[in-house]
Amino acid sequence: MADSEAALANTTAQVPTLARRALGWLRSGLTSTILFLLLFIGMTAWVGGPLGDGASLRLQAVDLAGASWRAPTPGKTTVLYVYATWCHACTLTTPTVDAFARGHPEVEVVAIAADDPEDVRASIAEKPRSFRVIADGGVLSRQLGVTALPTTIILDGEGKVHWNRQGVLLPFELALRLP
C-alpha cells in the first residue's frame, strides 16, 4: 500500500497545475510576441522606403476639397502617407496615421491615395479622416517611386526626406521618427 501511495504522490507531483500551465503559456506567448515585434521592426527598418534619406522633394497637387497643396511647407514637418482604398495593409495603417495626425497638430499629415477620387470620397464618407487627402490615380506615388503600399515618408521643414519606409506602421513609429 505504501508503494502505491508513493507512486501516486510522485505522479501528481509531476503533473503541472492549471496555474503552472497557464503561466508557462503566458511566458511563451509573451516571448513570442516580443520576438515577433523585434523581428517586424528590424525587417521593416531594413526594407526601408523608395527614397534616400536627405533627398529633396518638391510636390504639388490638388486635394479632394479642391484646394492646392505644395510640399514642403517651410519650417514644418510633413508626413506623406501613400495608400490605396483596396489595400488591406493600408486599412491596418490608416487608423494609426489618423491617430498620429490628431495627436500631432504641429505636423502636416497628407495622404496620397493611388485611387480614383470617387473611390476615395466613398471611403472617407464611411470613415472620416483628420488629415488632408489627395487622390490622383497614382500620379504622385509614381513620382515618388512608390512600389509597395502603404508607404510613409517624413519630410523635414526643408522638404528633405528624414525617414521613409514601406509597410504597416506600429502605433508609436511615427512619433519616434520625427526630426
Query: Regarding predicted confidence, which is higher, 11 or 177?
Result: 177
Considering the domain boundaries, does residue 18 fall inside one?
yes
- 93 and 113 housed in the same domain: yes
Q: How confident is the model at residue 170 (pLDDT cuts 50, 70, 90)?
A: confident
Q: How confident is the model at residue 49 (pLDDT cuts 50, 70, 90)?
A: confident
Mean pLDDT estimate for the chain: 85
- 101 and 24 housed in the same domain: no
| 161 vs 168: CA distance, rounded Å | 19
Number of structural domains the chain divides into: 2
- At residue 176, the 3 state secondary structure works out as helix
- 141 and 75 housed in the same domain: yes
Residue indicated by cell numbers 504622385: 140
Q: What is the pLDDT of residue 35?
A: 64
27 has a pLDDT exceeding 80: no
| 143 vs 11: CA distance, rounded Å | 69
**Domain coverage including residue 8:** 2-47
Query: Hey, CA dihedral for 141, 146, 152, 158, is it positive or negative?
Result: negative
- 18 and 71 housed in the same domain: no
- 36 and 116 housed in the same domain: no
- 30 and 91 housed in the same domain: no
